[in-house]
Amino acid sequence: MARVKSFWKDSAVTLAVSGVTTLNMYLSGALTIAIPTIGRDLGMSQAEMQWPLTVYSLSYGCLLLFFGRVGDIIGPRLMFLLGSAWFGAWSLAAAFAPSSSIFIVFIAMKGIGAAANTPAALGIVVEYFPPGADRNRALGILGAFQPIGWIIGLVLGGALAGSSATWRSIFYIQAGLTLLFGLLGAFCFSTQRKSETRYSKGLDWGGAILSTIGLGLLTYSLADSTSTPLGWGTPRIPATFVASIVVLAAFLYYEHTREKKNVAVLMPLSIWRIPKARMGPLMAVVFFGWWSFNTLMYWFTLFFQEVQMLSPLETAVRFCPLVISGIIVNLVGGMVMSHVRGEILMFVGFMGNVIAPLLFALIDVKASYWTMAFISLIVNAGADLAYPVALLHLSNSFDQDSQSLAGGLFNVGTRMGTALGLAISSSIATAVTKKHSSSQYSAAESLMFGFRAAGWACFAAGVISVIFIVGGLRGMGIVGHRDESNSSKSDPEKGKSGDIEMLPHRPTA
């Protein structure tokens, strides 16, 4: 009976965490498809239509580190529930938005909630599930739910936006599900928190302000570069980009000086110097891997709609194989990473993100969907095999009182990789398309020249991620298992470096 009760409790915790974070992806998918309909209904100009997704990415991306550290201070349970309540409240508000400007503000508010509950999800999983198979499985399911949310958003967004239920029902559904998963979490998450798993030095307000401003400026410059006619030729974009680099450099220097004084820091820089953590290569793999993975899905969306002239719903259906393969790969990764070396799993996974853009760059526009597009979408799910491995290795590298921060840092890597990937590939595609815009080519043919160039850019990013795996993650070992004795700080001085304790990995043959 105890085992049955434990199974249902484990399932409820996993469903609550995965369900709420999935709704973040649901919003991205729904907005991608439904924004033209929303724009017409609210009277948005063509220039305004890119702002809902832009402000969501802006508020979400720039606050991940801040809320990650706050979650370590007040506890991931409280952070997760507060973030989910905020997210659900603004979801309901968005359904009643009377104008475009108010709708954009409400979407920005939703991004704050997503930034709060996403990093806390890793903290909850690590706190609730012991090291080993249960934790691996939970992380695999957490990753598997991401593509589910995105495709549900695409399908429902396309179906509801054009129905009598209107686009507002997208947000009614989101608010209701957020309430459901939030209540489930409130009842099943443990209310007890061990003192050694709480970050006790307080909040680094200076680091929080600098990181938020720096990441916000960086996200804005990258997003804005894809929507303005002149791209990087628009003066404000390079100016904002350079300003973001200056502010982020100041953030790093500020964190370095505070860590030397052994006071509260937002992101301990000492973790980057611990050999076993391999933070530099790991974050490079995450950055370039998700650049290839997420950016290619964007170009496939444009390919289906602007070249093959498919409807939003027809486009969403064509992404279903990607979602199914992503679910399978995530679950398999969660099950086998306690038996297979992490660098091998990541190499196999990201090779898919080398092959997928290569097929897209060479795709025959007139060929059947099943000939090349289907195969490319299937293998593009390779990043999902690396998701639980990379996330767990990052978790193992951080001390027990910094697990939400680890989740925030991982998501910053994926978000910034996607943003830079979209910015660079969009600039390349626009330039190549413009070069081939003449009476010699049709509009679709001119676009396809640019799309292929974007595919080659994604291919290059995938190759770079594999190079970092081979050159920087060799010897990572099996990351899906750790002895229980290693999961707490039995000796506060052993292995310490600043605020981080490098937890030893299981020896491998």
Q: Which residue has the tokens 């969501």?
A: 56
Average pLDDT over residues 219-233: 74
Least confident of 57-66, 73-82, 446-455: 57-66
Residue 498 has pLDDT above 60, yes or no: no
Please calculate the CA angle 408-282-499 and round it to the nearest 5 degrees.
Answer: 55
Which pLDDT does position 363 carry in this prediction? Answer: 92
Handedness of CA 266, 272, 275, 279 (dihedral sign): positive
- Six-digit token string for 374: 């289907």
The 3-state DSSP class for residue 220 equals helix
Distances (CA, A) of 213 to 7, 130, 177: 43, 36, 32
Short-list 318, 328, 316, CA closest to 384: 328
Tens-digit pLDDT profile for residues 90-119: 999 999 999 888 998 999 899 899 888 888
CA dist., res. 36 & res. 401, Å (int): 44
Count of residues making up the chain: 509
Amino acid of residue 193: R
Please calculate the CA angle 94-78-129 and round it to the nearest 5 degrees.
Answer: 115
Please say whether the beta carbons of 65 and 409 come within 8 A. yes
The 3-state DSSP class for residue 244 equals helix
CA dist., res. 335 & res. 344, Å (int): 14
CA dist., res. 483 & res. 364, Å (int): 51
CA dist., res. 365 & res. 372, Å (int): 9
- Phi–psi pair at 477, nearest 5 degrees: 80, -170
CA dist., res. 420 & res. 426, Å (int): 10
Tens-digit pLDDT profile for residues 131-155: 777 887 887 788 777 777 877 888 8
Least confident of 326-340, 413-427, 476-490: 476-490
Which pLDDT does position 490 carry in this prediction? Answer: 34
User: For a pLDDT cut of 70, what percent of the chain falls above it?
Assistant: 89
CA dist., res. 402 & res. 263, Å (int): 15
CA dist., res. 433 & res. 372, Å (int): 22
Please say whether the beta carbons of 123 and 394 come within 8 A. no
- Six-digit token string for 165: 């239920």
- Six-digit token string for 449: 């020249």
Residue 19 has pLDDT above 80, yes or no: yes
Average pLDDT over residues 277-298: 88
Tens-digit pLDDT profile for residues 267-287: 888 878 777 778 888 889 989
Band of pLDDT at residue 480, cut at 50, 70 and 90? low
Band of pLDDT at residue 508, cut at 50, 70 and 90? very low
pTM of the model: 0.80
Residue 186 has pLDDT above 90, yes or no: no
Contacts with 68 (C-beta within 8 Å, 6 or more apart), sequence order: 119, 120, 404, 405, 406, 407, 408, 409
**Most distant CA pair in the chain: distance in Å?**
74
Average pLDDT over residues 19-33: 83
CA dist., res. 291 & res. 301, Å (int): 16
Tens-digit pLDDT profile for residues 383-393: 888 888 888 88
Amino acid of residue 299: W
Short-list 16, 193, 175, CA closest to 85: 175
Mean pLDDT of the chain: 81
Which pLDDT does position 191 carry in this prediction? Answer: 59
- Six-digit token string for 509: 């043959």
Residue 84 has pLDDT above 70, yes or no: yes
- Six-digit token string for 382: 């390779």
